[in-house]
Structure 1
Amino acid sequence: MKLLVLTNLFPTPWDPLRGMFNRQQFERLGRRHELHVLTAVDFRDRLRKRRGSVEVPGLRTDHFVFVYPPRFGRALHAACWLLSLLLQRGWRLRTAGYDGILASWAYPDAVAAGWLARLLGIPYVVKVHGSDLNVQATHALRRPQIAASLRGAAAVVAVSRALAGKAVALGADPARVHAIYNGVDAARFAPGDKADARKRLGLDIAADPLLLYVGNLKESKGCLDLLEAFATMAASCPQAQLVYVGEGTCRAALAARAQTLGLAARVHLAGAMPHAALPDWFRAADLLCLPSHNEGVPNVVLEAMACGTPVVATRVGGIPEVVPAHAGRLVELGDRAALADALAQAAAQAWDHAAIAEHARGFSWDSNIDQLDAIMRQAARNEAVAEVLR
């Protein structure tokens, strides 16, 4: 088939590390179909300097600039998204002859993609990830737009059962909602020697424990909660260290707070890292910590477990579905004292790292692509039958 992917979650020259889970999935789907990935780039990002290039084997990738009124009118963003797309790529879209659209992210992407699909007379499938339903769909003027896009989709793909339930609650037909967990590249993410990994990364060999956070440095990911919990734990663990891998708006706040707490020498802001570099960070760590405020199923959790690293995280979204008791500890959202206790207890626990890695191997990209492929084929087949009947 010839498929169009519309999303904001994919690497661009202005953000080469964005949406790596989508890159992995679409690259594999592109081995089975002709896949064109068209990524929305926020106009503010487009004004910044390019930070790299994007070349994905087997995919045709391109971008368009998403222009919208900043700071107000969020309910109009889907209309702005579609207008931006049509003005910049409209002729190509009308003449390409696509068999279907896969829209990855509910708002504004999937809402606009649904309107485009109707203009082109082709089916569309919506893939939802987490805060696109957990947060965006809580707003009064966005919720009905998201609900309509889910109802009109040939299928809805959710990255967790919890998120699939949210889609059904918004009105999506339960028979057309599918929970498909993302996969892990088992050839890349696998257990390895902790000391060797620390040496390669230039980390303190004696850190005990070494806690790791991987992700965007923003408040909703719980990075500030983690620092406060670490401060409590660090008082009784003089060798403990915390490393943040990632960039974001909270970087300066984290650095300042660590200084205030007297932990500047024990809290390290390593910056963003290429996806290929992450396995050593997971192997070097004693724990991965991700106290997010909302989630679908974060791939860093799956990838850490694939390296045999236990996880301490919040009990939100699909995280409880993928982190069993033998692979980590879960705490309630917003309870920093419980988070500090969980970190201390997990650091002292003897974990079966081989069993953790074996559990993570159950999250396979091959299985993920088999399921997504079948869904896209069924959507196109149903549209072909409907066309004959018309």
Structure 2
Amino acid sequence: MRVLHLLDHGLPLHSGYAFRTRAILKAELARGWEVAAVTGPRHGPAPDDEEVVDGLRFFRTRPVAAKLPGLSEWREIDAFVQRIHQVVKIFRPDVLHAHSPVLCALAGLRVRRWSGVPLLYEIRALWEDAAVGNGTGREGSLRYRVTKALETHAVRQADAVAVICEGLRGDLIARGIDPAKIAVSPNGVDMALFGEPVPQDAGLAAQLGLEGAETIGFIGSFYDYEGLDVLIAAMPALVAARPAMQLLLVGGGPAEPAWRAQAASSPVAERIHFLGRVPHEAVERYYSLIDVLVYPRKKMRLTDLVTPLKPLEAMAQQRLVAASDVGGHRELIEDGVTGTLFPADDPAALAKALEKVFCMRDQWDVRRKQARAYIEAERNWFVNIARYDGLYENLAIKMA
């Protein structure tokens, strides 16, 4: 089986998108398939038109000069189509596997018409809702409606569709898409990267002044929908209940200035630590310092429909997890078994839930083991990748 993946971006860039892609490609190689990827213009400049990163073969599309909104996207698709054409002639794939956003699917559909190679379109998030979530779009706007229409068109035209969670599957079915056409390929964890938890980094704890502290934290991108303002607002009540409490925030993003200002004005400002972005290879050191990873996502279409990756990585690291009860979290976390769920957008409820977690230390080991067992059985990438077997084989038969 020869599979060519069509990507918005990829390694060596660091993002949840790039790391999910890495896990998929690595797992497919381990199954004996021949795998390559083409990144689109949005990946940005690359040292070569073709390169190998972490043992994975990437073909690059050169960036496109920015034009008017709308026109730029179509120029990007044109450039991406031309590059995919070139790569198809070189790699001769059995299947094209396009990953959201929809620009990748639209380029893949044009290449399919020329080459006859069947197309699987995998949706990780709906582009129109992602724009609302990161503050660059507005639900119901003209751009939102056009993007949604393009997404629906791409799904209808693709030979098969995969989504990362049941929330997205339900949304597509509500649009009139045949349920039999949609497979669920959930987020998973590359156990080679996150499989073995590391002991607490005592040196880093001392450097940050955390000896003897109780710690909660967040590691990820700072977008408004992640709800860290709710977590910061919960800190005074939590410190009042647990005087040794400290909050560690690792990462960065558009919402950081507002959250830093909020934290600076908090009566417990000295307990809230912004640690900035850290190299991917150093992330485990920071996981080792945090007793409970907290994911206070706000309730909206994006967070109700899409499952995040970070809580799974934390569970693989045998860290305790607490999260808001949005739909995406409810698909991943069983309250009181593999983690703790609390009402979204409610600082008081968040503080009360975390206080309860710290009062139940005698149950921590059991919960860690239950969460780890769930990851190994259902969210291990080398298990999940088998879901593509039937999809690829059916598409390859169609091509023949």
**What's the TM-score, normalizing by structure 2?**
0.82
CA-CA distance at 1:33 after TM superposition:
2.1
Look up the match of 2:349. Answer: 338
Q: 1:321 to 1:16 in 2, by over 3 A?
A: closer
Look up the match of 2:234. Answer: 229
Look up the match of 2:161. Answer: 156
Q: 1:310 aligns with which of 316, 320, 335?
A: 320
Are the counterparts in 1 of residues 3 and 95 from structure 2 also a CA contact under 8 Å? yes
Look up the match of 1:121. Answer: 116
Q: 1:265 to 1:39 in 2, by over 3 A?
A: farther
Report the residue type matching 1:308 in the other structure: Q
Q: Does 1:382 align with 2:392?
A: no
Q: 1:252 aligns with which of 239, 243, 257?
A: 257
Q: Does 1:197 align with 2:208?
A: no
Q: Hey, what's the Cα distance between the residues in 2 that align with 1:286 and 1:367?
A: 28
Partner of 1:141, secondary structure, is helix
Q: Hey, what's the Cα distance between the residues in 1 that align with 2:213 and 2:68?
A: 44
Are the counterparts in 1 of residues 8 and 100 from structure 2 also a CA contact under 8 Å? yes
Are the counterparts in 2 of residues 11 and 54 from structure 1 also a CA contact under 8 Å? no
Q: Deviation string for 1:203-235 (max 9, x for gaps)? A: 444354211211111112223332222344234
Report the residue type matching 2:118 in the other structure: P
Q: Deviation string for 1:241-285 (max 9, x for gaps)? A: 111222212223332222222544322222333444333433321
CA-CA distance at 1:84 after TM superposition:
2.4
CA-CA distance at 1:301 after TM superposition:
0.7
Are the counterparts in 1 of residues 188 and 380 from structure 2 also a CA contact under 8 Å? yes
Please show how residues 111-190 of structure 1 align to structure 2 within 5 Å: 111-132=106-127, 134-135=129-130, 139-190=144-195
Partner of 2:53, secondary structure, is coil
CA-CA distance at 1:3 after TM superposition:
2.0
Q: 1:298 to 1:356 in 2, by over 3 A?
A: same
Tell me the number of residue pairs that the alignment of Structure 1 and Structure 2 aligns. 375
Q: Hey, what's the Cα distance between the residues in 1 that align with 2:83 and 2:22?
A: 23
Are the counterparts in 2 of residues 127 and 157 from structure 1 also a CA contact under 8 Å? yes
Q: Deviation string for 1:94-142 (max 9, x for gaps)? A: 5542222111114222233223322322111111113437446962111
CA-CA distance at 1:70 after TM superposition:
6.6
Look up the match of 1:86. Answer: 81
Q: Does 1:371 align with 2:392?
A: no
CA-CA distance at 1:323 after TM superposition:
0.6
Q: 1:301 aligns with which of 280, 295, 311?
A: 311
Are the counterparts in 2 of residues 246 and 271 from structure 1 also a CA contact under 8 Å? yes
Look up the match of 2:376. Answer: 361
Q: Hey, what's the Cα distance between the residues in 1 that align with 2:106 and 2:355?
A: 44
Q: Hey, what's the Cα distance between the residues in 2 that align with 1:344 and 1:184?
A: 29
Are the counterparts in 2 of residues 66 and 85 from structure 1 also a CA contact under 8 Å? no
Q: 1:62 aligns with which of 59, 62, 70?
A: 59
Q: 1:328 aligns with which of 339, 345, 357?
A: 339
Look up the match of 2:136. Answer: none
Are the counterparts in 1 of residues 109 and 158 from structure 2 also a CA contact under 8 Å? yes
Q: 1:283 to 1:121 in 2, by over 3 A?
A: same
Q: Deviation string for 1:317-353 (max 9, x for gaps)? A: 4321221122222234323332232232223333222
Report the residue type matching 1:310 in the other structure: L
CA-CA distance at 1:190 after TM superposition:
4.6
Q: Hey, what's the Cα distance between the residues in 2 that align with 1:206 and 1:255?
A: 24
Please show how residues 7-46 of structure 1 align to structure 2 within 5 Å: 7-12=7-12, 15=14, 19-31=18-30, 32-42=32-42, 46=45
Please show how residues 237-248 of structure 1 align to structure 2 within 5 Å: 237-248=242-253
Q: Which is further off, 272-281 or 359-368?
A: 272-281
Could you list the runs of 5+ residues in structure 2 that have no partner in the other structure?
Answer: 132-138
Are the counterparts in 2 of residues 190 and 279 from structure 1 also a CA contact under 8 Å? no
Q: 1:135 to 1:332 in 2, by over 3 A?
A: farther
Partner of 2:386, secondary structure, is helix
Q: 1:330 to 1:70 in 2, by over 3 A?
A: farther
Q: Hey, what's the Cα distance between the residues in 1 that align with 2:89 and 2:338?
A: 49
Look up the match of 1:388. Answer: none
Are the counterparts in 1 of residues 234 and 347 from structure 2 also a CA contact under 8 Å? yes
Q: 1:21 to 1:89 in 2, by over 3 A?
A: closer
Look up the match of 1:387. Answer: none
Look up the match of 2:217. Answer: 212
Are the counterparts in 2 of residues 199 and 205 from structure 1 also a CA contact under 8 Å? no
Partner of 1:42, secondary structure, is helix
Q: 1:106 to 1:22 in 2, by over 3 A?
A: same
Could you list the runs of 5+ residues in structure 1 that have no partner in the other structure?
Answer: 385-390
Q: Which is further off, 164-173 or 142-151?
A: 164-173
Report the residue type matching 1:335 in the other structure: D
Q: 1:380 to 1:334 in 2, by over 3 A?
A: same
CA-CA distance at 1:383 after TM superposition:
2.4
Q: Hey, what's the Cα distance between the residues in 1 that align with 2:354 and 2:314?
A: 16
Q: 1:91 to 1:109 in 2, by over 3 A?
A: closer
Partner of 1:246, secondary structure, is strand
CA RMSD after TM alignment: 3.1
